[in-house]
Structure formats: C-alpha cells, structure tokens
Amino acid sequence: MSRLVRIAMTISRGLALIGATGVLVMMLHICADVIARNLFRVSISVTAELVSRYYMVLTAFLPLAWLELRRDMVSVELIDFALPPLLLRISDVLVCLISAGVYSVLAYTTWGAAFSNYRSGTFVELVSFKLPVWHSFFLPPIGFTLAALACLIMAFDFARNGTASTQEFTR
Amino acid sequence: MSVEAGFYGILALTILLILRVPVAMALIAVSFAGITAMIGAGPALGVLSNTPYSFVASWTMSAVPMFLLMGFIAFHTGLTGGLFEAAKVVLRRLPGGLAISSIFACSGFAAVSGSSLACAAAMGRIAIPEMVKAGYRPSIAAGCIAAGGTIGALIPPSILMIIYGVFAETSVTQVFVGGIGIGVLTALGYCLTILVICWLRPDLIPARISDEDAPPDWSAVFQVLPITVLVVLVFGGLFGGIITATEAGAVGALGTIILATLTGRMSWHALSRSLIETVTSTGSLFIIGVGAAMFTRFLGISGLSGFISSFVANADLSYAGLLLVIVLIYLILGTFMEPFGAMLITLPIFLPILRAEGISLVWFGVLVVKLLEIGMITPPVGMNVFVIKNVAGKYVTITQVFAGVIPFILMDLVIIFLVIALPGLVMFLPNLMK
Amino acid sequence: RDLRLAPAAPPAHPANYMYEHFKDYLSENSGGALTGTILGPEVVALPQMKDALQTGLAEIGNALPLYFPADMPITGIAGDLALLGRNPHAMAMAMTEFGMTCAPCQAEFKGLGMVFLGAGSSNVYNLLTTKPVRTGDDMKGLRLRTGGAPYSRWAEHFGATPVTMGVGDTFEAMSQGTIDGTMASTVDLLSFRLIDIAKYVTLVPIGTYHVTSNFTVGLNVWTSLSQEERIQIAKSAARANFDLTDRWAFQLPAAAAAAIKETKIEVIEPDADFLAATEAFAAEDAASRVAMSGEQAEVFTKLVEKWTAIAEEVGDDPDALAARIETEVWDKIDLTTYGM
Ligand code: NA
Ligand code: NA
C-alpha cells in the first residue's frame, strides 16, 4: 500500500475520532444544561446552538471519508449475487467513481458556501451575546473533500486488486 | 412545474440503486441532475451547497446520535442483553421463544430509545447471533429484528412523532400516548406472526429453545433491573417535566454510562466501541438524510406533490377510499424514501384534506408513523434492514433480510387495517387523558 | 412569464396566505402575462432564502433579514427597536419605507443580490405562560422563550430569564416545564398548539415582529424584467404586503381569541403599574438603541411615529392603507433604477 494511502487513512481516522469526541462532548454538554437548569435554575443559553451548529456538524461530516474507506455506506445489494467477478469489479470501480464525483460537486459548492459565510462572519444572536458560527461551515467541505479522495483511492484499489485493501485497515 | 420530471427522477433513482450506487449518492445525484434539468445548474448547486448544513445543524436531530449512543452503550455493556435474557427465561416454554423474547426486548428497549434504527441496531447484535445458533433460519432471525426495531419509533419516546406533532400542529404528548397503543399492538402482532411461522414452517423457526430442559436461570430476570431504572429515569424525566424529548437522549446515554459503571460493566473498550459505532451510524444515516432532503426539494420543485394533492382532491373519495389512497401512497413512498422526507412532502398535501374531513390528527399521526415505519423494512430502501445488515452482516445478505421481513409486513398490513377499522385501539389512551 | 415564488411557510401560515393573494394581484395587474408557482417550505425554508434567491431557485421569496444578521446589520436595527411596536400596520409601513429609502439598507439588499419590496408585521406580542402574570413582580424568576434581543431585554428588565430556542421547540419546552412561557403572538397558541398547554395569556404589549422582506426579488431576476413588469410586480407587492399584516395581526389573533374562550385559559389584563413600567421601558430602550446604533435607529423611530399617526387616521382597512402608502412611498420610487 502506498504511503499516500496510509496518510489518507490516518487523516480520515483522526477526523472520525474528532467526530466521536463531538458525540461525547454533546452528551456531556446537554446533561450539564439539564442539571444546571433543574438544580440551580441556571441555563446555559448556548447549548442548543453549540449542539446544532458545532457538535452535530462535526459528527455528521468529519467521519465521511472513514466511512467510505470502511465501505460502511448503505447501498442496495439486490443484484450482487448475480454479478460475475469481473462485472462486480467493474461495478465497484464505477460506483466509487460516481461517489467521488458526487462528493467533488458537494465539496466544490460547500467550499463556496463556507467562504461566503466566512466573509460575512455569520453569527447567531443569543440572549446576551453573538455566537460566531461561520467556522462550522468549513466542516462539510472538509468532510466531502476527503471523502472524494477516499473514493478515488478505492476506485484505484478496486481496479488494480479487485478488493478494497483499505477496508481491513480501518476495522 | 414538470410532473414528468418528478416521475423520471424516481425512475432514475431506482435504476441507480439497483446498479449498487450508495443510497445517499444516488439521491444526491438524481436531485442535482433533476433540478439542473428543470431550472438550471445554478439553483441545483445552491441546493447542494446549503442542504447538508441545514439538514444536520438541527437541535431536534441531535436526539439521533444521542439515542444511538445510549443504545450502543446499553448493548456493549450488556444492559440490553439483560432484557433479552430475562425475556428468554420467562418465555422459554413458548414455541419460537427466542424470537418472541427479542420482540419483547425490542419493546422494552423502545421505551428508552426514540428511533427504530437504534432499537434494531441494539437488538440485532444480541439476538440474531443467538437465534442463528439456536437453529433459526438467518433470514427470518434478521427479519424479526428489523421489524421488531420499528417498535422503537412507535412506543414513546419517538423522534418521528415529535416531528409530526410540530408539523401537524398537534399535541406531541397525545401522539406519544397514542403510540403506546400501536406499539403494544405491533409487538403482539409480531409475536403472533412468529407463532404462526413456528407452526407452519418449523424449518425456519425451531419450535423450542434448545436448552429447554436445563433449569431456568431466574436470576436473569433481575438483569432487567438496570434497564428498568433507565426507563424510569427517562420516562420519569420526560413525563415529570424535567427534561425534553431531545434532552432525553443525552440524559439517557449518560444514565446508561453511569448505570453500567455502577454495575461494574463499563470498560474503556465498551465506551470507545460505542462512540465509534455512534459516529459510523450517525454519519451514514445523516448523509442519506441529506440526500433525502435534497430529493424532497427536487420533488417539490417538480410539482409532483401538488399533482398528487389535486388528484386526490378531485377524485371525490369516500372516507374508506381516502384512507386507502393515503395508506397506499405512504406504502409506496416508504419503499424508497426515508421517513422524514416522506412525511415532509406528504403532510402539506394530506393535512388540509384531513382537517376538512374532521379526522383526528393525533390518530392520523400514529397511523402515519406506523406507515412510515413499514417503509423502514420494505425494499429497495429499508433503513432498518440496512442497519441489520450493518450489525449482523456475517450472517445474512440484504436480500435475505428483505425476505425475512415479509411475514412481519403482512402482519403490519393487518394492524393498519385494525387501526383504521377500530380507531379506539389507538385513541383509547389519549382519550383517557383528556 | 411564470415566476417561482417562495413564501417559505406551510399552507396555514400568513405568509402563504399573502403569497396566494400576491399571485392573484400579479396576474390581474399584468393581464395574465405574469404568473407564479408557489414552492413549499420543503423546497425553500427561511434559513435557505438567501441562497435560493441568489442562485435563482426562488425568484421572489419571503426573506427575514434577522435570519442573516451578519449580512444585514443596518436593516436589522429596525428589529432591535421591536419594543416600539404598538400598531401593526404602522410598524409594517414604517418598515416598508425604512427598507426602501434608507441607503445603507438598500446597499445591504443589493450586496446580497436581493431587492426589497416592502414588509408586514405581526400583532403585538403578549405573554403566553403556565404561571399567572398580573404585575411586574410576577415576572421575577420566570423562564421565557425569546424570539430576539429586544424581547429579552424587556424580560430581563422585569427579572425574568429569557431563553433562546427554536419556535418549534416551544410546545415541548413549555409542556416539560423547561420554560414557563413565551413572549409571542397569540397566533402561536394555534399555529404551535400552545393552546393545549398555556394556562394564562397576559395582554401586556411587548412589541411586534416587523423586519420582514415579504417579496424579495432576486437581483438577477429584477434586472432581467422589463420596466413594465417591474411596475406590475411592485404594485402587486404594495397591496399584498397588507395581506400579511391583516392576516397575522387581525384575522388570526381574532381566531385565537375565539379559541381561547373555548378553553380554561385565563386572559389577564395587566395592572396599571405593569403597563406603565412596560411603556417606560420601551421608550428608554428605544432611546438607548438610538444612542448605540446611531442615525438609522433614529430614522426608524421617526418613521414609526409618522406611520402611527397615519394608521390611526386611515384605520385598519388594507385597501385604504395600500392606497395611502402608494402615494407616500411607492410613487416616489424610480423603478428604472430601484434596487439595481
Ligand atoms: Na421509542
Ligand atoms: Na422502504
């Protein structure tokens, strides 16, 4: 396996771990809010916004490349059994290329959205202050770009070896 | 605008799915191509640029990873295993006892989980390997859990019901209470299905648990104590007005971690596995959700929903005819659409008709959630089936799981008929509350 | 030409009602040459309106500038002065003139590729609560949902804690006791079923929601139209703007009041001290906003005074009001250059 592939997998695993941390922090933050509200009648007013704008976006988009490398994406396997190995291999390559294409378009257009939000400095108005949220618009394009690369890597892998060597590596 | 485009889009989607393109990618590709064809690449790129973020950055949606986390932790620390073990002891004399136990365990888990996916995922891991070991045909074992998982969205809490309540401007609590009725009815119906399969096809489900002569381990019943505490915690918090349904997921997840730690079941391994699986499931579900949201926007632009609405309005149907049409539409939409998307495009069409007909929106909400949940197990896009494939992939193929759910779908149709013929089955509890 | 119209609201919502009327006026004013197709909220929702108009997904849409505070700080000043709201039609007309004549507001719309064609207003917000509020003291310690900074300031002034949350979460939060109530239009009793859980409605006037841009035309669309078509669209918008206010601030609140009578909800007239304190705080708040935000805040305050007088003179009839604002504002706008 080439060094480039290893680097890609290390990066995507790292991003997935950030997503996992996001889930844990989300849980703790919501619980802290519930406890503070019920015991001290104090509310952490930023909870809902931080959860939706940061933890959720983090959890949803950063692990995409890792999911692709693990082949965890949901697909319909109605005709798998009917395909001879060569057709299956061609189909695998094509599917990876289609996915790479879709992710590329998503990445292209969400990078645009991210920079436009960065330029206007998008924020959310909370009770006592303005919470800047433009940073979080960069998470989807980062996830999509890496997912596009992951799909390209797998397309090469399938074309050369007939299997995705990345799949075992990420288990 | 171009109703034909809507139909072509559905056709293209079906073809891409059959050609093994991942569901999310197929939805996104068709939406992009469809909107481009109808009004141009600019608007299509716009839809692609803002849908992912706006679908995901949602407070209500945060209940999804939280309830998933709760389910995974409960599974990896053996808390949900207790449910299944206890049911097995109690129901050991019944034919198909393992399958029936898993339906009971699903119902118990449903009371702490808001999503049918979390329920299917958690139960799938424990129950399917055991059923296969006990000689069940893998497809029926997987089908049983895929269907049983739908109880997770019927018995409250239920994310789908919360969103319906907000959308239909009706009381979420009432819909929740109505959900108890249909959840219990579904569980009983599935148990009956299992008994019938046992009787007709003993090659699919062996009549008895293999170790029936061994003395039952009654201490297993006490294993349900932690999960009972969890149910009391979440339900108590919810109905006692301490937490909201969105918060219940996080509180439940933390509660599960604490309970598991107190009972000595917690480990770093369990926690890290749970987190990783939560991220994996959340990521693969949300990207489909993003795709479904785009597809919904595409269908909306095509005017297909408006076309259907006027078609129904002009048809001048009787009450039974109207409900038959609605049921059929949801069953058809459910075959390929994700429930939120299907609900989002249909409610604007149906709610005005229902209000005009004077049909109870609480009752209808329960019916819709049940119909959408059937869609979770019908091909080609059956999210519960995919989850089962995800957690028990080494036993079954997707096609086998789809085959295994067929008897349960038949029972679902009977339940739908009952709910329509005898609305009191669902409305009995909400009416008591008034 | 068929235009894609995006009210970003479900059928029962006032915005949809307004768009149905707009569609009719449009085909009437253009002799059927201009028609519209309404896109549902599942196609374009409020947070997506900016993108939808920029990319041409929607050609005319209901944009709420307060959804894009970073892009529209000056236009947003009118929202920061929400506590001034006492007469809905006056607020709507003040906002319309403000958006159309304040140069920095016009620059903000242009910068976003949008053209402003007038506003509408909610009725005056009240308190919908699960605990009785009769005096200012009853406010102490209450947790109230807020729809924006000015309502928060009013709540905090009386010792309540404002809580930010999505309007769709209000029902659950109120029924769970997470909050004690909301500062909102009585219409929310029906549209968000708060009528099932609220126990008290206190008719203290809090303020209005009026920073709307009802018929926001995409700049590309606007420049591509002929002068004649622009006039037809503007004329239709000028009249349809009043349909939003008429629906949101008169028809629906009347329906809500009738619905309240069928329930056990107690309608509370606040005591005189509470009312006086509220009016005093509204004036004080407006003054502090003017001191803070400067010129444009003062412009808007003056416009509110001007249109309040006119609205009191003309009454609540949408046709009469539309005729009045056409001569006062629209006739002075040059549609060969407006917004471009
Ligand atoms: Na549930
Ligand atoms: Na399905």
> pLDDT category, A167, cuts 50, 70, 90?
low
- Determine contact, residues A137/A114, Cβ cutoff 8 Å: yes
- What number of other Cβ atoms are within 10 A of residue B422's Cβ? 11
Q: Which two tokens stand for residue A102?
A: 């879709």
Residue from the list C39, C54, C168 with its beta carbon closest to the beta carbon of B166 = C168
Chain C interface mutation, best of A43, A51, A57, highest count of C Cβ atoms under 10 Å: A43
Cα distance between residue A5 and residue B414, in whole Å: 53
Q: Are strands C181-184 and C126-129 parallel, antiparallel or unpaired?
A: antiparallel
Burial of B432 (0-12, 13-18, 19+ CB in 10 A): exposed
Within an 8 Å CB–CB cutoff, is residue C70 touching chain A?
A: yes
Of A141-150, B33-42, C188-197, which gets the smallest average pLDDT? C188-197
Burial of B424 (0-12, 13-18, 19+ CB in 10 A): exposed
Return the H-helix or E-strand segment holding A123. strand A123-125
Task: Calculate how far, in angstroms, residue B118's C-alpha sits from the geometric centre of ligand 1.
Answer: 9
Cβ-defined contact of C149 to A125 (cutoff 8 Å): yes
Chain C interface mutation, best of B47, B60, B309, highest count of C Cβ atoms under 10 Å: B47
Query: Tell me: the pLDDT tens digits for A30-77?
Result: 999 999 888 887 777 788 889 999 999 999 999 999 999 888 777 766
Cα distance between residue A43 and residue C160, in whole Å: 12
Domain ranges of chain B: 60-294+302-433
Residue from the list A67, A80, A101 with its beta carbon closest to the beta carbon of B283 = A67
Cβ-defined contact of C40 to B300 (cutoff 8 Å): yes
Q: List Cβ neighbours of A12 (8 Å cut-off, separation of 6 or more).
A: A63, A65, A66, A69, A146, A150, A170
Cα distance between residue B34 and residue B299, in whole Å: 9
- Rounded to 10°, the helix C272-293/C149-157 angle is 130
Give the percent of chain C with pLDDT over 90: 86
- Rounded to 10°, the helix C73-80/C103-111 angle is 120
- Rounded to 10°, the helix B63-76/B268-302 angle is 150
C-alpha torsion sign, points B209, B119, B334, B30: negative
Cα distance between residue B46 and residue B36, in whole Å: 11
Residues of chain B numbered 216-245 and touching chain C (CB < 8 Å): 238, 241-245
> pLDDT category, A171, cuts 50, 70, 90?
very low
Enumerate the H helices of chain A as residue ranges: 3-40, 47-50, 56-61, 64-69, 85-120, 139-161, 165-169
Query: Tell me: the pLDDT tens digits for B96-119?
Result: 888 999 999 899 888 767 778 878
Residue from the list B42, B46, B348 with its beta carbon closest to the beta carbon of C11 = B348
pLDDT (0 to 100) of residue A170: 47
A53 to chain B: nearest residue by CA?
A: B57
pLDDT (0 to 100) of residue A76: 66
Give the percent of chain B with pLDDT over 70: 92
Task: Check pLDDT > 80 for residue B56.
Answer: yes
Give the percent of chain C with pLDDT over 70: 100
> pLDDT category, B249, cuts 50, 70, 90?
confident
Q: Rounded to 5, what percent of chain B is helix, strand, coil?
A: 80, 0, 20
Q: Considering every ligand atom shown, identify the ligand nearest to the alpha carbon of residue B249 and give its number.
A: 1
> pLDDT category, B409, cuts 50, 70, 90?
very high
Please compute the mean of the pLDDT values over residues B370-397 and round it to a whole number: 87
- What are residue C182's DSSP bridge partners? C128, C145
Task: Calculate how far, in angstroms, residue B34's C-alpha sits from the geometric centre of ligand 2.
Answer: 22
Within an 8 Å CB–CB cutoff, is residue B300 touching chain C?
A: yes
B333: nearest Cα among B13, B2, B5: B13
Cα distance between residue B157 and residue B239, in whole Å: 10
Return the H-helix or E-strand segment holding C302. helix C295-314
Question: Please, which chains are in contact with A (at least 3 CB pairs closer than 8 A)?
Answer: B, C
Residue with tokens 């009437």: C28
Spell out a b/e string for B329-343, using b for 16 or more CB atoms within 10 Å of the CB, else e: bbbebbbbbbbbbbb
- Rounded to 10°, the helix B172-200/B361-375 angle is 40
Cα distance between residue C104 and residue C107, in whole Å: 5
> pLDDT category, B333, cuts 50, 70, 90?
confident
Question: Please, which chains are in contact with C (at least 3 CB pairs closer than 8 A)?
Answer: A, B
Query: Tell me: the pLDDT tens digits for C310-321?
Result: 999 999 999 999
- Determine contact, residues B304/B69, Cβ cutoff 8 Å: no
Q: What is the CA radius of gyration of chain B?
A: 21
Chain C interface mutation, best of A52, A109, A125, highest count of C Cβ atoms under 10 Å: A125
> pLDDT category, A164, cuts 50, 70, 90?
low
Within an 8 Å CB–CB cutoff, is residue C148 touching chain A?
A: yes
- What are residue A125's DSSP bridge partners? A130
CA distance to A146, B135, B330, B331, C191, per residue, from B334 (Å): 32, 32, 6, 5, 28
- Determine contact, residues C253/C185, Cβ cutoff 8 Å: yes
Q: List Cβ neighbours of A142 (8 Å cut-off, separation of 6 or more).
A: A15, A61, A62
Q: List Cβ neighbours of C147 (8 Å cut-off, separation of 6 or more).
A: C125, C167, C183, C184, C209
Q: What is the CA radius of gyration of chain A?
A: 20
Cα distance between residue A155 and residue A162, in whole Å: 9
Please compute the mean of the pLDDT values over residues B306-311 and round it to a whole number: 71
- What are residue C200's DSSP bridge partners? C129, C266
Three-state SS at B418: helix
Please compute the mean of the pLDDT values over residues B187-200 and round it to a whole number: 94
| DSSP secondary structure letters along C210-266 | ---EEEEEEHHHHHHS-HHHHHHHHHHHHHHHHHHHHIIIIIHHHHHHHHHHTSSPE
Residue from the list A20, A74, A105 with its beta carbon closest to the beta carbon of B48 = A105
Chain B interface mutation, best of A49, A56, A68, A108, highest count of B Cβ atoms under 10 Å: A56
- What are residue C4's DSSP bridge partners? C37
Cα distance between residue C73 and residue A120, in whole Å: 11
Task: Calculate how far, in angstroms, residue B402's C-alpha sits from the geometric centre of ligand 2.
Answer: 10
- What number of other Cβ atoms are within 10 A of residue B256's Cβ? 29
Q: Which two tokens stand for residue B38?
A: 């109808």
Q: Are strands C60-63 and C2-6 parallel, antiparallel or unpaired?
A: parallel
Query: Tell me: the pLDDT tens digits for B343-364?
Result: 766 776 677 778 777 889 999 9
- Cα B255–Cα B258–Cα B261 angle in degrees, nearest 5: 150
| DSSP secondary structure letters along B334-381 | HHHS-HHHHHHHHHHHHHHHHHHHT--HHHHHHHHHHHHHHHTTSSSS
Within an 8 Å CB–CB cutoff, is residue B46 touching chain C?
A: yes
Q: Considering every ligand atom shown, identify the ligand nearest to the alpha carbon of residue B245 and give its number.
A: 1
Please compute the mean of the pLDDT values over residues B286-305 and round it to a whole number: 83
Cβ-defined contact of B296 to C42 (cutoff 8 Å): yes
Residues of chain A numbered 95-154 and touching chain C (CB < 8 Å): 113, 120-123, 125-128, 130, 134
Residue with tokens 């800047």: A132
- Determine contact, residues C34/C182, Cβ cutoff 8 Å: no
Question: Please, which chains are in contact with B (at least 3 CB pairs closer than 8 A)?
Answer: A, C
- Average pLDDT of chain B is 85
CA distance to A60, A66, A151, B69, per residue, from A15 (Å): 11, 8, 16, 18
Q: List Cβ neighbours of B61 (8 Å cut-off, separation of 6 or more).
A: A52, A56, B55, B286, B289
Task: Calculate how far, in angstroms, residue B145's C-alpha sits from the geometric centre of ligand 2.
Answer: 15
Q: List Cβ neighbours of B148 (8 Å cut-off, separation of 6 or more).
A: B102, B103, B106, B119, B120, B123, B187, B190
Which residues in chain A are closer than 8 Å to B28, comparing Cβ atoms?
102, 106
Cβ-defined contact of A127 to C69 (cutoff 8 Å): no
C-alpha torsion sign, points B236, B239, B240, B241: positive
Cα distance between residue C18 and residue C188, in whole Å: 18
B249 to chain A: nearest residue by CA?
A: A27
Chain CA centroid to CA C158, Å: 25
